[in-house]
Structure 1
Amino acid sequence: MRSNYFKMFTLFIIILLCIYPLSTITEIRTFSHIEEKDYGIETPPRVAEIKSYDNIVIIRIVRNDTSKSNSIEHCNYDTLFLRIINSDGTVIEKDIKLEGVQIFNFCSMKMGKDEAEDHLKYEIIGKDKLFVFYYNSTDDINVEGWGMTIDFDGKVIDKIPIGIWGYKGYRRLYRLRVPRIQISFNINKEKGFIIGYRPLQSYDFEWKQYKIELDGKFTILINGKIQLDSRAIVGYDSLIPTVNESYSFIYKLNNTFSNSLKDLIVAELIGYNKSDTAKVFLYRGNLLNRIPQPISCNIEYVGVGHSCSLPIKYNESNFNLKIGFLSSGATIAINITPITFPNNQIGFRSWKLQSLLFGGYMLTERAKIGMEHRLYTYIFAENGILGLEQPLLTNLNYAYAILPNNSILVAQQEYNNTWGFNMIKLPKFTNDNGYFNTNIESTYPEINSTIYPDIKNITINFYYPVILSDGRLSIFQIIDQRKFLRQSTSGIECILNNDDKKVIVNILNSTFSKSGGNFYIKIDNNFVKSRIYGESLLGIRENVWNFIIEDNKYSYTITSSTAVLLRLTVEGSNIFKNSSYDEKNQFFNSLLDELADAVQISRDRLSKNDKDQIDPKSNDGKLLININIEKTKDPYEKDVNSVIQDINYMMSNNDQTPIGKGKLIYLDSTYGFIPAPNYLQEYGPKLSGLIIILVLLVILYILANKREKKGHNIVIFQFSLFISDFVIDTLFIINNAKDVKMLYIPSLIFYTIPIGLNMASSFLIIAKENTRNEFLSWFTENNRLASIFTILAGIDIELLSVLHSNLAGFKYFQAPFSDSAKSIIFWVAFTNIFVEDIPQFIIQILFRMKSITFDIIPIITLISSAITLTINIISRSHQSINYIRDKRRTRRVFHS
């Protein structure tokens, strides 16, 4: 059955082409989709809207919900049916259940029409994001306008109340009484949109500006009100974006109180994110046989600025009054052009001239003849001469759209579960030299040319002198149908030549670092401006031209895998610190995805270590992160050294490279992309100084042994070790402990508690020993020495043992400690293993595991902790054995 309908549809197209010969049009192509799910014969898919974005077309399908529709009210299924048509003709079906959107948004009153538009509005704001406008109700009377951003799978990114109020109709469940709204997105969609409306029971026009951030979140910018009265004639598209990235509200006033000038065309200029408006009179005069219809306004693709058109009649003839003006409101041209229609018939109520990319205007008029729905299409040249008349059969929604490639899509009547459209090429009234841009004369590279990757600059030649502006020229590389930004340069960073008709864009070294594949240029509308008018040349459009870079293999060296260091900005560091574990992983996965795309290597070659730390050289708490780069043997992919060089180069030019976009903005470009340090190479010379000190201590020990073999000369090493370990631990606490935040408090605890324990014990021992005459006599004779060592014992209690040691040549060191004092020294020293040596060693191990980079102090601290712990364990073990042996010997003597 489905194939039969498809054959009937094809036969219908053939008949259509026979009735309307191709001599009146340049080209016509057909497209049909027959894979729709069968909802029943009474609910065929209807094409409601056609929109385009980039190189895709998005169709909204609606289906009549017979369970909720009747002779007065019409309801569609409460699903956003989107059909995404790719450039290769494939169709992706998205049936989105909009979260929290109530059923009345999908309904309307028929009002004598075959179908009526519902209250749901949407706009494409990115490759995978939509803006949706709908009404929400929390009671039985009032409704409020809301905005929502979603992805193509229906996941809600953000919601926000917009505050446009209406109410539900009495007795009619799905009837809404709401203002007629206008939504206009900025010429630069990154700047968001403006929404305007005339509140119920008011003539005023209110507007609000919003911005949609890159992550899909709403930002409220500003709002305002324009005071109007009943004389103001406001059209469906009176609120338009301007080429200077602001907005304008344009309306007509007939029968003003002035005796000489009764008719006015007024533009209220609304600045971006500015509440004040500026009123400009585009036209003052008396319109002959004025028609109470609103005007239609457009951006001028050929020429500069904007234009507004409205119909007038004189002596039974039709004329178009066209007013050309700039974004500033300055009028630059007023023309009255005769318009000739077949049989001189036109319904002025449908008057809406649409500016075409290559000059001229298109006017459409809807008509139903019998069971057929026709869209009468008239194409006029600038002088008003009719260039094309084409009555096209369409569906009952009269759905059509003009595409950026100068063609029009017209939806066809749907049959069963099949929908489709015709794509018709529109005539050109000006030559664009293949650039889809009437302002460009030529470029280097030329369209579809093949060049070598060592190209130094790109040039664009214009017909007329230009001035540079702050818009950007962006170079994209297409690999496996994915677009990769390679360079984005502001117009003010370029060079003018040839009497300001040539723009020269310097190419960065990283732009074509991965050769091969297709490239194309995107130029913002305000990249350059007309030198005469100072107005942006909007004719400059995305995909201005394509070219190919010749493919070359890399001459690379097989570099081993390398760890490199990156530093986050203050903002990036704060995001990381305040994120959960999963959010941190997601943050870094996104960052590495974008980094791999920026440098154009396989994503699996990049991985992040779990280590991160505060940069000790940073005063504002910036975090260091450690990334591993795996080596490659692929001759078409960069080696590790090339990756490091490219990223460093892009960081130094982050205002023009992908490093300055997306999550990569959180990388501190002033730090760079630095290989992790080789500590042996960096700190080897400094560590050699420790070896020299150790050699000197050995020499001193040997000399002491020669002088007094029975002396306890090992104290030389103990004393040196205790003092140096304390100094190093203190420096670590002061300079490095805060680098790993989680270890700072433990480091401080296990640094101060042993000092307090040792100090208290040493004073207790000295005080108790001074009660003995023998010790008091020695202490009095050596009070300075004893006081110094009592204080030093705060570092380590065993420094008191030095006073008791038989050190060669220093008899006065031999303090007469009692056995109880020696016992206290032993047990305190033994306790220090567990409250100082082991905890500090563990902290140093964790510090090494958690930190990415550190200076020589933590290295020496780790070595010192390891040596101290080892010596103390051996020493305490030896002392414990001797202590136990002495105890046993004492017991045997006592019992005998």
Structure 2
Amino acid sequence: MKIQSYYLRFMIIIIFLLIFLPTGFTRFTISYSYLAYQETSVQANHTGSQPHILHIEHYNDNPDTAVVRIGRTNYYDYGSSNYCYEQRLLLRVIKADGSVLQINYENATEIQDINYCAVTILAKSPINFYPLFDQYILATYTHATNTSDPTTYVDRGMVFHWNGTIISKLEFGPSYLSPGTNWYPNEFIVNNITPKNGFLRLSAVNDTYTKHLFSFLFSNDNGTFSLLQSDTVRSLQNPTSFQVTVFATLDGGYALMYANTTIRTFTSDNMLAAQFSENAGIYAIMLGYNQSKTPQIFILYQLPNINFTRLFCSVDFVEIGHSCIAYAERTQTTTVSSTTTNSSTFYVKIRFLSSGAILSLDTMFPPNNVRLTNLRMLPLGGYAVINRTYYGQNINFTLNLYNESNILSEYDSPLEQITVNFNGAFDVLRNNTILMALNETTTSWRILSVNLPPLSPFSDNGYGNLHVGTTYPPKGLNNLPLNTNMINITFNFPISLSDANLTIYQKINNNFTLRQFINSKNCNNCITSGKTITLNVLNCTFNDPGGHYFIQMDNNFVKSAVYNEPILGIDQNMWSFQTNNITSSEKNIDNSGDIRGILRLTNSGSQYFQKLNDSGKQDFFVTLIDQLILMIPTEKDRLDPDKHYQFNAPNILISLFIHEAKDNGKLTAANIKDYLHQLITNKAFTGISTGTVTNLLDETYGFQQSQDIGKKYSALITIVVMTFIILLLLRFILSFKVNLFVNFVSYNRHKC
């Protein structure tokens, strides 16, 4: 009995430790892989040296795609103690499947030699690149009228498509010169939280920071930029330590964050006053999208005798609002003795709302033995602290992972210390993967891809958003009932409606077809209850048997009901599922035959159609059918416009045949008729509004079925036929009686 008692106590202790030990004691197993790419070039290698990865950046709207810049060393500049690279802009797009796409730009007249050499160790590279969205990349550089005269330097940009074409060119203004004649490249460019809405550029001008806000506009898939607003942030007086960063906020705006230390001079020998001679703080400017004037600066954190040497900020992926982590060096300075005492380093982690309200403020002292070089907040919770030490021509990375409780996480991997290339290029993707550039060979380069573990107290349910608990349909479902007209999302905290879109797409032949979108601000069929939102959808949305769908939720579709703060969305292809296939017992057997109907163009659509020549009208009908078969969806031979139209002032009426299905497993003509009518009458929320031709269909008319003449006038025809028959019978009877009377009279005459 005693042995059993000890055994029971032992098991209770083990269970307690497993349940209540902090997550920092949990050991994770990290998976990783390598990508090696053999460099080839249309032109011969200019310098004969090996290719180096200079920089890595990722797309915000595609969590699995990254872009790297490649360069070959041309010579070493002893004046600036930096390397200069060959005069070619070489970009490499790394796709999700591991394939690599090359973009080479070699116009040395536009991107001049001054861009291929680093100016100083602290200054940013003169040439930079930023993945925008879809297949667009922005490259920024400096162009000079006279490369020997910095006062002629102007900052420029070009937008590249993956196919290498230049979509647009930009000019940002004069380059920054400090203290007036020395060229000092610097800029911050950050995509909007909805990348297609543009980006913000922040750059220094005459010792102040000036922001430039650009918006990306579309025209037939070719983008052009236009300046929305520009303004100047007030100058900072006597900054001894200044760190600045910018990030996009969930409401569509931007946050300008900076940490600053300002000297305050004391002439007194008072030691207490001297201890507070430096005033350090972390400040925020919340800038709304297309906002014309810079709003007031609010203070997040202040402390004397601090130098901030690093500042990292982003949207909070785990809690509500935003997060910043600053690396600080504490000093006590006296102007009398000119000595520094009691120096130490630590982190400050701040969580705050858009209003400036502080949710939490933690001071941390992680046990790092080397100087912090970089920090990244991770999409699945926690943060990575990357320390580096130089080792000859290489850099040794030490990767430390901390959870949301600021506890160092243990993990099983041979990658705790990694030797990377001499540029130390790395990036963290939206899918919680870190990419690191490894040592290159003579003709190839390599990247290490590490899947980092989730470090959040919330479960990762596969939606790319830790705030999402469950959904209907569930992610990965393969038998959603056809014509389902309700979906819902349950979050980890109470929510309310905000102002953004939820969009339902169908994947057809590797293309995304818009089926329906819902705006939360104008949604009459959206119901919130605590943590759950329920949305009604059209019957025609999930109407394709075996169809592959995904739902994308924009940031700020909902917001926290407690803090009134926007909540992260769900990226494309994350919430995906499939509708049910039709079984043999469910196949349509009620085939009512072909259906003829009428479509009506809007007033503007009718005017456009009338201006087309005969060839243009033929193309119009072809495009109409091509777009409709994708939006319904159905087979191409099921729709026939018969190219007949009629002018019914002020609109054009178009005749359309819907052919009955030859296969009982396909939609019936009656199904197509109903779906088409619903799509058109709800044009503002369906794919009909996105087609160049379908957008011209009149939503107040829909699809009107033309009744068969026999059916429409069957009663009248019956009456006419019956009347005709009766008249014939009466005529026959009357004729018969007349003949009898004539015969009777004739008989009596003969008898007489």
TM over 0.5: yes
The residue aligned with 2:548 is: 518
- How many residues are matched? 644
Residue type of the partner of 1:428?
P
Q: Say whether residues 1:565 and 2:599 are aligned partners.
A: yes
Contact 1:520–1:545 (8 Å) recurs in 2: yes
Residue type of the partner of 2:469?
E
Aligned to 1:255, the other structure's residue is in SS state strand
Residue type of the partner of 2:591?
T
The residue aligned with 2:346 is: 319
Aligned to 1:485, the other structure's residue is in SS state strand
Contact 1:375–1:392 (8 Å) recurs in 2: yes
Q: Match for 1:163 among 173, 180, 188?
A: 173
The residue aligned with 1:826 is: none
Q: Say whether residues 1:263 and 2:274 are aligned partners.
A: no
The residue aligned with 2:229 is: 222
Higher mean displacement: 154-163 or 223-232: 154-163
Deviation at 1:252, TM superposition (A): 2.5
Pairwise mapping of residues 352-367 of structure 1 onto structure 2 (< 5 A)? 352-367=374-389
Pairwise mapping of residues 473-484 of structure 1 onto structure 2 (< 5 A)? 473-484=502-513
The residue aligned with 1:5 is: none
Aligned to 1:534, the other structure's residue is in SS state coil
Q: Say whether residues 1:211 and 2:216 are aligned partners.
A: yes
Larger-gyration structure (1/2):
1
d(CA) in 1 for partners of 2:552, 2:380: 18
Higher mean displacement: 630-639 or 236-245: 630-639
Pairwise mapping of residues 20-59 of structure 1 onto structure 2 (< 5 A)? 25-34=29-38, 36-37=40-41, 39=44, 42-47=48-53, 48-52=55-59, 53-54=61-62, 56-59=64-67
Deviation at 1:401, TM superposition (A): 2.1
Q: Deviations over 1:39-66 (max 9, x none)?
A: 5593444333242442542333424275
Distance change (3 Å), C-alpha of 1:634 and 1:167:
farther
Contact 1:235–1:296 (8 Å) recurs in 2: no
The residue aligned with 1:245 is: 252
Q: Aligned Cα RMSD in Å?
A: 4.3
d(CA) in 2 for partners of 1:586, 1:393: 60
Distance change (3 Å), C-alpha of 1:161 and 1:312:
closer
Deviation at 1:533, TM superposition (A): 0.4
Deviation at 1:290, TM superposition (A): 0.9
Q: Match for 2:371 among 346, 366, 369?
A: 346
Q: Deviations over 1:348-402 (max 9, x none)?
A: xx3x432212221122234321233333322222333222582222233322221
Q: Say whether residues 1:645 and 2:674 are aligned partners.
A: yes
Deviation at 1:585, TM superposition (A): 8.7
Pairwise mapping of residues 682-693 of structure 1 onto structure 2 (< 5 A)? none
Question: Relative to total residues, which structure has the larger strand share, 1 or 2?
Answer: 2
Distance change (3 Å), C-alpha of 1:56 and 1:303:
closer
Q: Say whether residues 1:371 and 2:393 are aligned partners.
A: yes
Contact 2:309–2:329 (8 Å) recurs in 1: no
Q: Deviations over 1:232-271 (max 9, x none)?
A: 5787762221121111212223236698893332222222
Deviation at 1:532, TM superposition (A): 0.8
Distance change (3 Å), C-alpha of 1:96 and 1:138:
same
Deviation at 1:488, TM superposition (A): 1.8
Q: Say whether residues 1:337 and 2:376 are aligned partners.
A: no
Aligned to 2:685, the other structure's residue is in SS state coil
Pairwise mapping of residues 56-455 of structure 1 onto structure 2 (< 5 A)? 56-64=64-72, 66=74, 74-87=84-97, 89=98, 91-97=99-105, 102-104=110-112, 107-110=115-118, 117=125, 119-126=127-134, 128-137=135-144, 142-165=152-175, 177=183, 179-199=185-205, 201-213=206-218, 215=221, 216-232=223-239, 238-255=245-262, 262-287=279-304, 289-313=305-329, 317-341=344-368, 343=369, 345-347=370-372, 350=373, 352-387=374-409, 390-430=416-456, 431-450=459-478, 451-455=480-484
d(CA) in 1 for partners of 2:422, 2:398: 14
The residue aligned with 1:528 is: 558
The residue aligned with 2:686 is: 657
Residue type of the partner of 2:371?
I
Question: Relative to total residues, which structure has the larger helix share, 1 or 2?
Answer: 1
Contact 2:624–2:694 (8 Å) recurs in 1: no
Q: Say whether residues 1:598 and 2:631 are aligned partners.
A: yes
Q: Say whether residues 1:486 and 2:515 are aligned partners.
A: yes
Deviation at 1:324, TM superposition (A): 1.7
Q: Deviations over 1:145-204 (max 9, x none)?
A: 344444321334333433354699xxxxxx9936411111111223211111112x3324
d(CA) in 2 for partners of 1:283, 1:310: 12
TM-score (norm 1): 0.63
Matched-pair identity in %: 23
Distance change (3 Å), C-alpha of 1:680 and 1:635:
closer
d(CA) in 2 for partners of 1:165, 1:449: 54
Deviation at 1:70, TM superposition (A): 7.2
d(CA) in 2 for partners of 1:137, 1:576: 50
d(CA) in 2 for partners of 1:588, 1:232: 67
Distance change (3 Å), C-alpha of 1:547 and 1:411:
same
Distance change (3 Å), C-alpha of 1:573 and 1:445:
same
Aligned to 2:208, the other structure's residue is in SS state coil
Residue type of the partner of 1:384?
N
Distance change (3 Å), C-alpha of 1:650 and 1:298:
same
d(CA) in 2 for partners of 1:69, 1:662: 55
d(CA) in 1 for partners of 2:107, 2:657: 41
The residue aligned with 1:537 is: 567
d(CA) in 2 for partners of 1:376, 1:585: 65
d(CA) in 2 for partners of 1:388, 1:208: 42
Q: Deviations over 1:855-894 (max 9, x none)?
A: xxxxxxxxxxxxxxxxxxxxxxxxxxxxxxxxxxxxxxxx
Contact 1:210–1:222 (8 Å) recurs in 2: no
Distance change (3 Å), C-alpha of 1:499 and 1:525:
same
Q: Note the residue ranges of structure 1 that are not aligned, 5 or more in a row.
A: 1-21, 169-174, 689-896
Q: Deviations over 1:625-647 (max 9, x none)?
A: 67776776355554555334322
d(CA) in 2 for partners of 1:578, 1:365: 67
Pairwise mapping of residues 581-592 of structure 1 onto structure 2 (< 5 A)? none
d(CA) in 2 for partners of 1:474, 1:516: 19
Distance change (3 Å), C-alpha of 1:391 and 1:575:
farther
d(CA) in 1 for partners of 2:602, 2:527: 40
Contact 1:76–1:107 (8 Å) recurs in 2: no
d(CA) in 1 for partners of 2:657, 2:113: 52
Deviation at 1:470, TM superposition (A): 1.9
Distance change (3 Å), C-alpha of 1:223 and 1:639:
farther
d(CA) in 1 for partners of 2:403, 2:347: 12
d(CA) in 2 for partners of 1:611, 1:158: 42
Q: Deviations over 1:277-334 (max 9, x none)?
A: 22232335324x4124252212101011112221234666542212221123333322
d(CA) in 2 for partners of 1:659, 1:593: 12
Q: Note the residue ranges of structure 2 that are not aligned, 5 or more in a row.
A: 1-25, 266-272, 331-341, 718-752
Residue type of the partner of 1:154?
G
d(CA) in 2 for partners of 1:268, 1:486: 39
Distance change (3 Å), C-alpha of 1:453 and 1:185:
same
Deviation at 1:657, TM superposition (A): 1.9
Distance change (3 Å), C-alpha of 1:588 and 1:295:
farther
Distance change (3 Å), C-alpha of 1:379 and 1:316:
farther
TM-score (norm 2): 0.74
